[in-house]
């Protein structure tokens, strides 16, 4: 399964955020809480479309889709020099599919800051420098070998890879991430094979003070980080980890009351979950009309048979057709019958690229 890894300097609020995530996950109704690993938190993906489908086509239960956050603890500074724990820190980042980078964006004299002052951009730079150095190291390791294969042996693959290395090196040396380079499809495959850290998608989480939870975007710290995120080809979200931890621990009534008091319509955690989900290029399709109304996760770009395989490998093996309705059509026409009569129900084949929001009934051979 794809996972987003939470990183950040010590004392910025990572554990607090991760606690909020696991608390919210522990409340999940549909999954007998399977603790996978202590550093993995499973969350439900909030999706208002489920309730609407359930309203139109009631089923016994509603099952949201889920995905995982991984807490990457560890030493940051000097990590790229490969000393023990630092090495492990980078190795753990290598395992995740996207990076959720928590940045301290709150003042509090009681909470020590590792470098003595709150300076979000300086904090970000500390971590990013380690990631860039690790990538440069990886490139240097391949450089001589690939250059030789390209220049003396005229090996085609080596020539292509060397061209990629030559593009990467100056960009990284300038302090920019690999993801800031636009690649064509062939290059992209080569880059993937290099397993770089700075080619992973990044989401900065500005951890603002509780007082700013209703409008994190208005804080100067947030705005600083947002300006940087744009040039860093990264996304950003503002959240108060401490407030989210409190909200996640409340029962639903207290939650609603608290959010109303704060003037917010949903927990910030929901925004975080949705943003990370999209960062991972994940999409949702639905099944309905049986015992359950259910959301499932697929990867953008998957075709109908692969998507059928998300439910069960038999569905993929014996795939015949995908009877498909777009959520927006169901929402608009108000019933499956009306969608059919309007000729909006589609029978899709093997080459169909599934879209976010598709409600699908798979037909398959057993």
- Among 106, 162, 315, 362, the residue binding ligand GDP under the rule CB under 6 A is 106
User: Does residue 16 touch ligand GDP according to CB under 6 A?
Assistant: yes
Residue 10 in contact with ligand GDP, rule: CB under 6 A: yes
Cα–Cα distance measured from residue 78 to residue 356, given in angstroms and rounded to the nearest whole number: 42
Q: Who contacts 238 (Cβ-Cβ below 8 Å, separation ≥6)?
A: 105, 205, 206, 208, 212, 216, 217, 219, 222, 268
Binding track, positions 325-344, relative to ligand GDP; x by CB under 6 A = --------------------
For residues 222 and 343, what is the distance between their CA atoms, to the nearest angstrom?
48
Site string for ligand GDP, 222-251 (x = CB under 6 A): ------------------xxx---------
Which CB atom, from 165 or from 241, has the smaller least distance to ligand GDP? 241
Residue 269, phi then psi, degrees to nearest 5: -60, -35
Shortest distance in whole angstroms from residue 200 CB to ligand GDP: 20
- List binders of ligand GDP among 181-210 (CB under 6 A): 207, 209-210
Identity of the residue, 15 or 54, whose beta carbon is nearer to ligand GDP in the bound complex:
15
| Residue nearer to ligand GDP on the CB measure, 42 or 246 | 246
Q: Residue 128 corresponds to which tokens in the numbers above?
A: 């990013």
Q: Which residue has the tokens 């057993």?
A: 366
Look up tokens 């890879």; give the residue. 161
Is 8 among the residues that bind ligand GDP (CB under 6 A)? yes
In whole angstroms, how close is the CB of 21 to ligand GDP at the nearest point?
12
In three-state form (DSSP H/G/I as H, E/B as E, the rest C), the secondary structure along 219-278 is CHHHHHHHHHHHHCCCEEEEECHHHHHHHHCCCHHHHHHHHHHHCCCCCHHHHHHHHHHH
Rg (alpha carbons) of the chain, rounded to whole number: 23
Q: Report the interface residues with ligand GDP, using CB under 6 A.
A: 8, 10-16, 106, 108, 111, 207, 209-210, 240-242
* Binding-site positions for ATP: 11-16
């Amino acid at each position: 399964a794809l996972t987003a890894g939470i990183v950040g300097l010590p004392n910025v609020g990572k554990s607090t955020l991760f606690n909020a995530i696991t608390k919210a996950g522990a409340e999940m109704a549909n999954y007998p809480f399977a603790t996978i690993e202590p550093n993995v938190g499973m969350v439900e993906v909030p999706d208002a479309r489920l309730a609407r489908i359930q309203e139109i086509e009631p089923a016994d239960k509603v099952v949201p889709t889920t995905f995982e956050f991984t807490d990457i603890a560890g030493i940051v500074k000097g990590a790229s020099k490969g000393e023990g724990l630092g090495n492990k820190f980078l190795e753990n980042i290598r395992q995740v599919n996207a990076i959720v980078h928590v940045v301290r964006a709150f003042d509090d004299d009681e909470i020590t800051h590792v470098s003595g002052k709150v300076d979000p951009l300086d904090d970000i730079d500390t971590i990013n420098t380690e990631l860039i150095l690790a990538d440069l190291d990886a490139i240097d390791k391949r450089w001589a070998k690939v250059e030789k294969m390209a220049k003396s042996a005229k090996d085609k693959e080596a020539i292509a890879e060397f061209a990629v290395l030559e593009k990467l090196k100056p960009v990284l040396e300038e302090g920019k991430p690999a993801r800031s380079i636009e690649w064509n499809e062939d290059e992209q495959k080569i880059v993937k094979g290099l397993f770089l850290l700075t080619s992973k998608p990044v989401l900065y989480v500005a951890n603002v003070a509780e007082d700013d939870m209703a409008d994190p975007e208005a804080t100067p710290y947030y705005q600083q980080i947002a300006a940087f995120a744009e040039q860093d080809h990264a996304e950003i979200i503002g959240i108060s980890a401490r407030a989210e931890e409190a909200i996640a621990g409340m029962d639903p009534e207290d939650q609603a009351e608290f959010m109303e008091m704060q003037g917010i319509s949903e927990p910030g955690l929901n925004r975080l979950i949705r943003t990370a989900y999209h960062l991972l290029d994940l999409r949702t399709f639905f099944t309905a009309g049986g015992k359950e109304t259910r959301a499932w996760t697929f990867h953008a770009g998957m075709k109908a048979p692969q998507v059928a395989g998300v439910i069960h490998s038999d569905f993929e093996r014996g795939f015949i057709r995908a009877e498909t309705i777009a959520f927006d059509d169901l929402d608009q026409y108000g019933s499956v019958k009306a969608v059919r009569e309007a000729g909006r129900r589609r029978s899709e084949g093997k080459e169909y690229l599934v879209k976010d929001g598709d409600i699908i009934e798979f037909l398959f051979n057993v």
